[in-house]
Amino acid sequence: MIIGAANPIDQALQLGTYEQLKADHFLSRREIGIINIGGNGYVTVDGEKFELEKQDCLYIGKGKEKIIFSSVNKISPAKFIFFSCPAHQEFPTRLMKPAEALPAEMGSLDNNNHRVINKYIHNDGIQSCQLVLGVTNFKKGSIWNTMPPHLHDRRMESYFYFDLAEGQRIIHFMGEPNETRHIFLNNDQAILSPPWSIHSGVATANYSFIWAMAGENKVFTDMDPVPVQSLK
């Protein structure tokens, strides 16, 4: 998984390729999912222009060559966060609004984990080769994500935390269930978890996060629960 960001202010930004990819274009052998977490902006895909408002999602499939990011207004610039993984099959470019995403309401206020998971790229939403992506937003008073935690033997998962107030912190938990570790994160920071690791977190204030997975399948419910009592 490659996680990146584009924050165009005074000029548009083009997604280039990198030596490590050994490819003519970034998406020569990859696909990408993009979430805008800032002001309104545009993503132009081989000449086709898409406008993204906050928390809109754009999927771009393998084989597209020229990806350009721009903002509608530099006073309130767009901030595009993207997740990209290898792909062996092409799927069409598609834009999805939060209202179109498939929501899953989980947790409870009693357990401080009442949240709404908006699924964008998955088996019943935007089609992809192996990328699965969505955004989780919390109900007022809830601060725990993915608790109780789980594992994905068949795929890795990455988080990007955002909309956390200045001066606050995220405490992210990872590692094997019987030997966990924690790391403190700031707003607008990402973290990667391998298949053998839990991925859970809590914060000192309200926040949101983007989650993205890649691996052997795209079944959202394919996970192995980890009881809270077994965590160490």
| pLDDT tens digits for range 90-123 | 999 999 999 999 888 888 888 888 999 999 999 9
Task: Tell me if the pTM is above 0.75.
Answer: yes
Percentage of the chain exceeding pLDDT 90: 90
Longest dimension (CA), the chain: 53
Label residue 198 by pLDDT band (50, 70, 90): very high
Last residue of a domain, one of 27, 55, 87: 87
Residues 142 and 221 in one domain: yes
**What whole-number distance in Å separates Cα of residue 168 and Cα of residue 205?**
6
Determine the structural domain holding residue 212 and report its residue range: 98-230
For residue 99 the two structure tokens come to 């209202």
**What is the end-to-end Cα distance of the chain in Å, rounded?**
28
On whether both 67 and 150 belong to a single domain, the answer is: no
Q: Is residue 193 part of a domain?
A: yes
pLDDT 10s digits, 42-91: 999 999 999 999 999 999 999 999 999 999 999 999 999 999 999 999 99
Q: How many domains does the chain have?
A: 2
According to the model, what pLDDT value does residue 111 have? 84
In a shared domain, residues 163 and 131: yes
Confidence grade of residue 1 (pLDDT, cut at 50, 70, 90): very high
